[in-house]
Structure 1
Amino acid sequence: MTLSRRTALLLLAFGVWSWLLWPTFFRNIWISENSWQAGSPTPFLYVHFVIAAVSLVLGTAIGVLGWRALRATRG
């Protein structure tokens, strides 16, 4: 399957966007008062950590696909 250059750029942009968005989101969750109770992490923190981690993994995979597709359109 060959992706168009436009689609490849969209996938690559999504991967970059994920790496700009999710680390900031996680930092904000980390400092939230809902994330800690008596010095221990709460389920709120665990759930949002998993969401951020999965989103970074998927964003990375999508970005890599976009990068490979973009390189393939140049050849």
Structure 2
Amino acid sequence: MQMSRRIAAFLLGLAAFMVFEWINLAFNLADGHDTAFYVVHGILIAVNVVLGLVLGVIGWRGLRAGAAAPERVRESVREG
């Protein structure tokens, strides 16, 4: 099953937002909290950055597959 270009672009945008937002949060955490606060937020940041990167890879592959699809159609029309 092939992903539409609109969905692939949405996934890329969502991935960029997630990575930017969570890295921004990491830099903006204020001092003065307990160690557990930083451990929990560090885990949340790491998991969400990884999820953002995974979504970005899926979106990128979807865009590349969508760009290659018209060429495959043209080739099959020429052969057929």
TM-score of the superposition, structure 1-length normalised? Answer: 0.84
CA RMSD of aligned residues (A): 1.1
Structure 1 unaligned regions, length at least 5: 36-41
- Which structure 2 residues correspond to residues 15-30 of structure 1 after superposition, within 5 A? 15-29=15-29
Identity among equivalent pairs (%): 38
Structure 2 unaligned regions, length at least 5: 69-80
Whether 2:46 is the aligned partner of 1:53: answer yes
Would you tell me which structure has more strand in proportion to its own residues?
Answer: 1
Q: Which runs of 4+ in 1 moved over 2 A?
A: none
1:32 Cα offset (Å): 3.0
Distance 2:6 2:16 in 1: 15
Distance 2:55 2:37 in 1: 27
- Residue 32 of structure 1 corresponds to 31
**Larger-gyration structure (1/2):** 2
Would you tell me which structure has more helix in proportion to its own residues?
Answer: 2
1:20 Cα offset (Å): 1.1
